[in-house]
Amino acid sequence: MFGYHWIMKDTNASFVPPVIRSRRNPLVRDLLRMGRSGRFAASFPAEGLRLVETLLPLTEPRLLVLSETAAKDARWRDPVCGTAVLADDVFAALSTTETSQGVLLVLDRPPEPEATVCGLRAAGLGAPEGLPSPCLLVLEDVQDPGNVGTLIRLAAALACTGVLVVGDSADPWSAKVARASMGALWQLPVVRLRSRQRGDIRHGEIWPLLAELGWTTVAAVPEGGEPLGGEMGFAKDEALALLLGNEANGLDPGTLDAARRRITIPMPGGAESLNVALAGAIIVWELRCRRGG
């Protein structure tokens, strides 16, 4: 993909690639398919000025795509990768935002680890030793891309070891998740666990792997768990894998059975539940504070 003659990188600061004005252009058609292809595409777009500026020093992008208006900005005169310039209306057809800023990066999905202890440890998801309040976020069937991206951003902000995404969750390497994570996807290990056959690994296969990696699994449930803020008895250096479930249905029953502990946020105001991203933020923050992290 992207082996087209009009994608160029040049050391001449005055160089500007020719403007692509047709939506039938092969590059534009490839970009449209990539943005709408659903889950597990080999490459994906990350759109938005702030996001692109954050990602450029963190990644090795395949392509920088600019609208004709954005290309006039001097900051793009010395690109670090191949660059394509699209007419404003053509870029708008690619955009997934309400108000396009005319800037996106094409990035490659990282290689996926094997669903084994060695594979996950190599991906950076082994329980760390000697760190205060180690925590791993595990997202099971979290389907909203905004929630997945926000939880990844939360994990980076609160120094979690990483994020493990399983089941029927939104693809973490997608345009919407990348935008919601605001670059956090590249600040800590984020793993979408699938089997060697590239099908979704069954939930029940995951929890023994986490135990072998040194994690204590803690399921977040709306009721019936140990109250957050009480005397939960977690050791300061105990490695906790916090399991967060589907927005509507919570965690799979098999997952609840496999979890070592269950935890609930007390809600004296009477609400039935909280948004999964909000609940995750409250729990991770409280666990870090309680354990001196």
- Which domain CATH number covers 236? 3.40.1280.10
Are 214 and 85 members of one domain?
no
Are 156 and 273 members of one domain?
yes
Are 101 and 133 members of one domain?
no
Are 62 and 168 members of one domain?
no
Please give the Cα distance from 183 to 275 (Å, whole number): 22
Are 56 and 167 members of one domain?
no
For residue 12, tell me if it sits in a domain.
no
Q: Which of 108, 135, 168 is the last residue of a domain?
A: 108
Q: List per-residue pLDDT tens for the chain, 293 residues long.
A: 454 444 545 545 455 678 999 999 999 998 888 766 555 567 888 899 999 998 888 888 889 999 999 999 988 877 778 899 999 999 999 887 878 899 999 998 888 788 889 999 999 999 998 777 899 999 999 999 999 999 999 999 999 999 999 988 998 988 889 889 988 999 999 998 754 444 455 667 788 999 999 999 999 999 999 999 877 778 888 999 999 999 999 999 989 999 999 999 998 887 777 899 999 999 999 988 877 65
Q: Which two tokens stand for residue 250?
A: 């919570």
What pTM does this model have?
Answer: 0.85
For residue 6, tell me if it sits in a domain.
no
For residue 3, tell me if it sits in a domain.
no
CB 34 within 8 A of CB 43: yes
CB 86 within 8 A of CB 67: yes
Domain limits at 87?
19-108
For residue 222, tell me if it sits in a domain.
yes
Tally the domains of the chain.
Answer: 2
Are 179 and 282 members of one domain?
yes
Are 191 and 278 members of one domain?
yes
Strand order in the sheet with 103-108: 19-20, 83-86, 63-67, 103-108, 43-47
Residue 233: how many other CB atoms lie within 10 Å: 9
Q: Which of 76, 91, 108 is the last residue of a domain?
A: 108
Are 33 and 148 members of one domain?
no
